[in-house]
Amino acid sequence: GRVNATEGGDAGGFTLLMLAANRGHEQVVDTLLRRGAEIDQRTSNSWTALMLAAHYGHERVVELMLQRSAGAEVNMQSRKGRTALMVAASKGRDRVVELLLQYSAEVNQQESNGGAALMDAVGCGNERVVELILE
């Protein structure tokens, strides 16, 4: 039989799309999205594929997921209220932050402890990320 590319997951709730996004495999992400992979599914920790790609700074994967006609929800929050923008800002991923802002990431969105992307950027110490968020 054939493998269903849009289903399945491991014990942590990682789907095939999440695994590819997490590792920065752009062509695999593209193939899975074309085959109908659900872009906004969540891991057991409630992270999406977009959050995973943003965390590891995989800018081409982030861009691909945002460009899709069934694009990723840029402001989706994890169980703790974290967004892809907050995750990227906390890691100093300036190019990813720039992409997320181009796709209307909300800079003032707050996580459950009251923090926001600017606090993450300041905490990371990346001046470029701080400037991007303040623009």
| 84-113 pLDDT per residue, tens | 999 999 999 999 999 999 999 999 999 999
Which among 112, 2, 57, 30 has a CA at the least distance from the CA of 16?
A: 30
> Is 108 within a domain?
yes
Mark out the alpha helices in 16-75 (DSSP H runs). Answer: 16-23, 26-34, 49-55, 59-67
d(CA 1, CA 124): 48
d(CA 82, CA 76): 8
> Is 10 within a domain?
no
User: Residue 4 — very low, low, confident or very high, per pLDDT cuts 50/70/90?
Assistant: low
CB of 24 closer than 8 Å to CB of 63: no
Does the pLDDT value for residue 2 go beyond 50? no
Residue 90 belongs to what domain range? 16-134
> Is 9 within a domain?
no
User: Residue 7 — very low, low, confident or very high, per pLDDT cuts 50/70/90?
Assistant: low
- Tally of CB atoms within 10 A around 125: 9
> Is 7 within a domain?
no
> Is 8 within a domain?
no
> Is 1 within a domain?
no
> What six digits make up the tokens of 117?
């992307």
Q: For position 23, which CATH number holds?
A: 1.25.40.20
**59: Cα separation from own chain's centroid:** 10
Question: Each residue of 42-91: pLDDT tens digit?
Answer: 998 899 999 999 999 999 999 999 987 557 899 999 999 999 999 999 99
What is the number of structural domains in the chain?
1
> What six digits make up the tokens of 43?
């891991």
> Is 37 within a domain?
yes
> Is 68 within a domain?
yes
